């Protein structure tokens, strides 16, 4: 039970699944720092992939943890995740904080508890099915069965959308999506970026950079096409199923570096001329990481970039999802239209720092909890 700074308040953290380490898991790690005694409930956990941040965490998976072949076949168990989340024993907790892109928001709270959901997006495979299928490597049988499974999950998603008392969205794009699908208002608190991991450099800056998983929807093909035309050096860090296609279309000025460790990536951020961000993400941590290293970003004008890029301060936009539009933006950058300053770029990145996230989340959830407790006491006409 989570006690300590918050008196008798018992806090539980709930996450969809802890079998991969990405941006959502960075949020869970930060929540664990805020409420270190709060157990982390989840459907499944793969302890082999957990970061050191979770070494002291009390992680409590559901009954799904005992299913056979879970590490390899966790996607095949898709219909079971709602049941697993609903079975979590969290009704004794006063405050639930769910970290959800699909299932965690469906946790069953006690009658007088408060539930705040940090939402990365409403269930993507239910509400953006066509694009979701493009991102995954499903076989023919799965593609035949999946629509029936998704229809059931969509109904569950709508039914459980009322379980959280409050929603927090990771970006304005997601805020609007929550309003459109669930019909509720959400506050925007940007996810944490470890800005202090990155440092500006004075030398280099003669090449452009892409840092991304190489999936087709990331639109790295636009960057390759554009730099084929520009003839400027472009370095691409990352791996993925689209690598072969990108290699086949790239000219010699475009090089593929594969997956690199964090230190190497930080060095490339700091020494590039600018980061190219051609996809449309719900938030997008990579541009902030480049900014933390003092480098500007050339991004497609859409998605989370609308929240993070201030044109002329820490980057610029290209307006159409075409190679031609990106070429024009790079030419504007090359022609010195903008006077970017690394110190100002890095200062902007600190608006998204992990410590800022922690302070905002803690203030928000504790304020909502205090108000809900006061309301609970008033309803029963007792003292707080």
> Which two structure tokens, joined as six digits, stand for 102?
């699909």
Summarize pLDDT for 266-286 with one digit per residue, the tens.
Answer: 999 999 999 999 999 999 999
The per-residue b/e assignment along 302-332, b for 16 or more CB within 10 angstroms, e otherwise, is: ebbbebbbeeebbbbbbeeeebebbbebbee
What does the mean pLDDT of the chain come to?
Answer: 91
- Segment among 7-16, 35-44, 141-150, 168-177 with least mean pLDDT: 141-150
Note the pLDDT of residue 129: 60
Q: What CATH number is given for 196-351 in this structure? A: 3.40.50.2000
Out of 3.30.70, 3.40.50, 1.20.1270, 2.60.40, which CATH number does the structure's domain 11-192+353-379 have?
Answer: 3.40.50
**Which residues, 6+ apart, have CB-to-CB distance to 325 below 8 Å?**
318, 319
Pairwise CA distance, residues 215 & 365, whole Å? 36
- The reported pTM is 0.88
Q: Which sequence spans correspond to the domains of the chain?
A: 11-192+353-379, 196-351
> Which two structure tokens, joined as six digits, stand for 275?
């980061």
pLDDT at 140 exceeding the cut of 70: no
pLDDT at 141 exceeding the cut of 90: no
Pairwise CA distance, residues 177 & 122, whole Å? 7
Measured in degrees and rounded to the nearest 5, phi and psi for residue 360 equal -70, -45
Dihedral over Cα of 225, 226, 227, 229: its sign? positive
Give me the long-range contacts of 180-184 (CB less than 8 A, separation at least 24).
Answer: 181/122, 181/127, 182/122, 182/158
């Amino acid at each position: 039970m989570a006690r300590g700074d918050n008196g008798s308040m018992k806090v539980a953290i709930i996450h969809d699944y802890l079998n991969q380490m990405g941006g959502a898991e960075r949020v869970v790690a930060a929540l664990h720092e805020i409420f270190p005694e709060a157990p982390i409930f989840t459907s499944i956990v793969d302890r082999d992939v957990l970061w050191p941040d979770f070494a002291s965490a009390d992680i409590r998976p559901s009954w799904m943890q005992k299913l056979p072949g879970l590490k390899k076949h966790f996607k095949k168990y898709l219909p079971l995740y709602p049941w697993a989340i609903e079975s979590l024993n969290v009704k004794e907790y006063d405050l639930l904080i769910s970290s959800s892109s699909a299932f965690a928001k469906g946790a069953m709270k006690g009658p007088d508890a408060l539930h705040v959901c940090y939402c990365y997006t409403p269930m993507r495979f239910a509400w953006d099915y066509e694009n979701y299928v493009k991102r995954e490597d499903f076989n023919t049988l799965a593609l035949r069965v999946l629509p029936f499974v998704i229809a059931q999950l969509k109904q569950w998603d709508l039914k459980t959308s009322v379980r959280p008392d409050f929603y927090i969205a990771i970006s304005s794009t997601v805020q609007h999506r929550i309003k459109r699908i669930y019909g509720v208002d959400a506050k925007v608190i940007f996810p944490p970026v470890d800005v202090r991991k990155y440092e500006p450099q004075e030398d280099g800056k003669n090449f452009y950079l892409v840092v991304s998983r190489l999936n087709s929807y990331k639109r790295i093909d636009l960057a390759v096409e554009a730099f084929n035309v520009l003839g400027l050096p472009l370095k691409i860090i990352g791996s993925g199923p689209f690598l072969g296609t990108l290699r086949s279309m790239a000219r010699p000025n475009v090089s593929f570096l594969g997956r690199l460790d964090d230190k190497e990536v930080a060095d490339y951020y700091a020494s590039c001329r600018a980061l190219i961000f051609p996809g449309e993400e719900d938030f997008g941590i990579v541009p902030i990481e480049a900014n933390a290293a003092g480098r500007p970003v050339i991004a497609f004008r859409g998605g989370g970039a609308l929240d993070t890029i201030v044109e002329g301060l820490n980057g610029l936009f290209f307006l159409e999802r075409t190679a031609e539009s990106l070429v024009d933006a790079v030419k504007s950058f090359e022609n010195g239209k903008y006077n970017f300053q690394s110190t100002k770029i890095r200062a902007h990145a600190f608006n998204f720092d992990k410590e800022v996230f922690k302070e905002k989340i803690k203030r928000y959830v504790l304020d909502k909890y205090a108000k809900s407790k006061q309301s609970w006491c008033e309803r029963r006409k007792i003292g707080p």
